[in-house]
Amino acid sequence: MALEVGIVGLPNSGKTTLFNALTRAGAEITAYASVTEKPNVGMAAIADDRLQQLAELVSARKVTPAAIRVVDVPGTGPQLLGNLRQVDAILAVLDGFSPDATPADDLETLQLELLVADRDHVERRHERVSKEAKSGDASKRAELELLTTLLAHLDAGRTLADWPGELPGELDPLTTKPLLAVENGPGGIDCKLEAELADLPDEEAAEFRDRPSALDEVVRRLKDALGLIAFFTAGDKETRAWTLRQGQTALEAAATVHTDIARGFIRCEVISADDLVEAGSHAEAARRGTQRLEGKTYVVADGDVLNVRFNV
Ligand SMILES: Nc1nc2c(ncn2[C@@H]2O[C@H](COP(=O)(O)OP(=O)(O)OP(=O)(O)O)[C@@H](O)[C@H]2O)c(=O)[nH]1
Ligand SMILES: [Mg+2]
């Protein structure tokens, strides 16, 4: 399962425009968002120079970047923000293009909305659990007690993020998720231009830019905020980048590629992409001794090229 980021922003801040730029999905930009509108969902590719270098090295016929799922919900408000409880990180878009834009104030407003949405959520849950606890169920009574202290904590102006203990399961708060703010306009990223460039082939789009794509930078920052690393599989049929959480193992990497590969896992050839590109070929890398064999529990490092030996 790809990790997911949710876009939030005040009305007309450019959420859908940024969504289109990131995913090339071409979602409709409408003048007024309505509550009945469905969220837009798409995939944002993670740009990685090493992937292209590896693909050239093995003359790959297909190159597939790793991707993050992006969700764009129309408007704001507790009900709409509730759609984002399952996402892993939040991308906040701030209007920096309107003549009277105040991006810093908008960020504060948004953060306040997230706080309010979380408080509403805890309060509703408190109401529900207090009914359920009447039956005398001990675990419900314990949860009710926890929710009561949590509400008092929030009402004292604190946040769920600074709650010292463990939060009730399935609470899925918004305010504890990593948040990345993007200013849409001349002072940050021109999302409208990026959305237009997203329709062009990469080389043409690069000609319009005088510096590396700011969008790629956003996705890379998201990758860091999510605690992700990239690993590669370098085949001539397909060379591909994948993501793992920091600290995950070769076995988990294998499972990301295919459950069968994980099931039949024997050993795993590992070399860093930089070493492989530098060597110029697997044979030369083997001669230099930069390639090694690892077992299931090996903790994968960012930039590793993996070749799992497995039997089915
Ligand atoms: N000049 C300028 N206009 C922009 C920019 N980004 C978005 N817009 C315009 O602002 C309007 C709103 O953009 P959307 O992307 O629909 O904004 P949104 O946040 O998704 O809006 P809602 O979903 O309705 O809340 C559209 O007319 C866009 O063309 C920008 O960087 N510069
Ligand atoms: Mg929109």
Say whether pLDDT at 40 is over 60. Answer: yes
Which residues pair with residue 233 across a beta bridge? 240
Range 217-231 average pLDDT: 91
Residues 96 and 21 occupy one common structural domain: yes
Residues 81 and 108 occupy one common structural domain: no
Cβ–ligand 1 contact at 298 (below 6 Å): no
pLDDT at 201: 84
Q: How many residues does the chain have?
A: 312
Range 88-92 average pLDDT: 94
pLDDT at 37: 66
Q: Whose CA is nearest to atom 1 of ligand 1?
A: 97
In which residue are the tokens 């109401």 written?
127
Sequence letter at residue 160 = L
pLDDT at 289: 92
Residues 149 and 288 occupy one common structural domain: no
Torsion 52-26-203-22 (CA) sign: negative
Residue 120 counted as domain residue? yes
Cβ–ligand 1 contact at 212 (below 6 Å): no
Residue 277 counted as domain residue? yes
Range 190-216 average pLDDT: 84
Residue 170 counted as domain residue? no
CATH of the domain at 253: 3.10.20.30
Percent of the chain with pLDDT over 70: 95
pLDDT band at 152 (very low <50, low <70, confident <90, very high): very high
In ligand 1, the atom with minimum distance to the C-alpha of 75 is 25
Integer angstrom CA distances of residue 269 from 116, 266, 309 = 50, 10, 8
Say whether pLDDT at 234 is over 80. Answer: yes
Residues 12 and 62 occupy one common structural domain: yes
Query: What is the spatial distance between Cα 200 and Cα 189, in angstroms, rounded to a whole number?
Result: 18
Cβ–ligand 1 contact at 185 (below 6 Å): yes
pTM of structure: 0.88
What is the domain count for the chain? 3
pLDDT at 211: 73
64-78, 149-163, 176-190, 241-255: segment of lowest average pLDDT:
64-78
Angle subtended by helix axes 103-132 and 138-155, to nearest 10:
150
Cβ–ligand 1 contact at 186 (below 6 Å): no
Query: What is the spatial distance between Cα 1 and Cα 256, in angstroms, rounded to a whole number?
Result: 8
In ligand 1, the atom with minimum distance to the C-alpha of 185 is 31
Q: Residue 141 corresponds to which tokens in the numbers above?
A: 């009574």
Residues 23 and 62 occupy one common structural domain: yes
SS3 311: coil
Query: What is the spatial distance between Cα 88 and Cα 111, in angstroms, rounded to a whole number?
Result: 16
Query: What is the spatial distance between Cα 66 and Cα 178, in angstroms, rounded to a whole number?
Result: 20
Q: Residue 247 corresponds to which tokens in the numbers above?
A: 């600290």
Query: What is the spatial distance between Cα 155 and Cα 149, in angstroms, rounded to a whole number?
Result: 10
pLDDT at 157: 85
**Segment (H or E) for 6:** strand 4-9
The pLDDT mean for the chain works out to 90
Cβ–ligand 1 contact at 214 (below 6 Å): no
70 CA to centre of own chain? 7
Say whether pLDDT at 33 is over 60. Answer: no
**Segment (H or E) for 247:** none
Q: Angle 152-158-164 (CA atoms, 0-180°, nearest 5)?
A: 85
What strand order describes the sheet that includes 265-272?
63-64, 239-245, 228-234, 304-310, 265-272, 292-294
56-65, 102-111, 152-161, 290-299: segment of lowest average pLDDT:
152-161
Angle subtended by helix axes 15-23 and 214-225, to nearest 10:
90
Residues 61 and 21 occupy one common structural domain: yes
Residue 197 counted as domain residue? yes
CA of 41 to the centre of ligand 2 (A): 12
CATH of the domain at 79: 3.40.50
Say whether pLDDT at 35 is over 60. Answer: no
Percent of the chain with pLDDT over 90: 66
Say whether pLDDT at 158 is over 60. Answer: yes
Residue 235 counted as domain residue? no
Query: What is the spatial distance between Cα 206 and Cα 201, in angstroms, rounded to a whole number?
Result: 9
Residues 258 and 132 occupy one common structural domain: no
pLDDT band at 307 (very low <50, low <70, confident <90, very high): very high
Q: Whose CA is nearest to atom 29 of ligand 1?
A: 192
Query: What is the spatial distance between Cα 244 and Cα 250, in angstroms, rounded to a whole number?
Result: 10
Range 235-248 average pLDDT: 95
Query: What is the spatial distance between Cα 184 and Cα 121, in angstroms, rounded to a whole number?
Result: 30
DSSP 168: P
Phi, psi (rounded to 5 degrees) for 73? -100, 140
Contact 173, 118 (CB under 8 A): yes
pLDDT at 34: 55
Residue 213 counted as domain residue? yes
CA of 293 to the centre of ligand 2 (A): 48
Range(s) of the domain holding residue 280: 247-310
CA of 286 to the centre of ligand 2 (A): 51
Residues 15 and 122 occupy one common structural domain: no
